[in-house]
Amino acid sequence: MTNKTLCIIKPDAVKKNLAGQIITKITEAGFKIKAMKMVRLSNESAGGFYEVHKNRPFYEELVKFMTSGPCIPIALEKENAVADYRALIGATDPAEAAEGTVRKLFAENKSENAVHGSDSDENAAIEIAHFFSRKELLENYAD
Ligand code: IDP
Ligand code: MG
């Protein structure tokens, strides 16, 4: 699953009605949308997704935030998707994010930071499978 990455438009951005503007930034940067849905995550789903952070002090706050309202997972495709998408969204903390990045433009703070991005090809594959069934992916990835 190289050239793929997972974006999530997080609950803060969905609540602020920023989904359209964020998707426009992503598609203008050359990413293709391969699958997308709006979902309200359960504690189990959000907890599982962020399992790698379960010993970090912010884990509980993160799960609470990610379940606070609907979010929009989007499977994206582009050459060099993981690195290019992380460059597009900017640093985890919007205060440290470069000018013009999605987090600089739209994020509140280091916790409520508007979007998720995969950090490796391997994790992109795992994260895309977390949200999209085999059937959805086969249909959407057909061309
Ligand atoms: P990333 O989203 O830029 O990859 P990670 O370090 O993987 O950043 O952290 C995952 C998510 O956990 C962040 O996007 C953010 O929502 C939250 N988070 C990370 N560090 C902190 C923190 O120090 N305080 C509160 N929330 C944090
Ligand atoms: Mg991360």
Two tokens at 61? 């706050």
91: closest CA among 77, 110, 76?
110
Residue 142 domain flag: no
Number of domains the chain is built from: 1
Residue 116 domain flag: yes
Dist. CA 138 → ligand 1 center (Å): 31
User: What residue ranges line ligand 1, CB within 6 angstroms?
Assistant: 53, 58, 61-62, 92, 110-111, 113, 116, 119
* pTM, rounded to two decimals: 0.96
Interval 7-24 mean pLDDT: 98
Residue 21 domain flag: yes
- At 84, which CATH number? 3.30.70.141
Q: In which domain, by residue range, is 18 found?
A: 2-137
Give CA separation, 137 vs 34, 45, 102, 143, in Å: 8, 19, 26, 11
Dist. CA 20 → ligand 1 center (Å): 23
Residue 132 domain flag: yes
What is the pLDDT confidence band of residue 135, given thresholds at 50, 70 and 90?
confident
Residue 39 domain flag: yes
Report the alpha-carbon distance of residue 54 to residue 15 in Å, rounded. Answer: 26
Residue 55 domain flag: yes
Cβ contact 19:140 at 8 Å: no
Residue 103 domain flag: yes
Q: Residue 142 pLDDT more than 60?
A: no
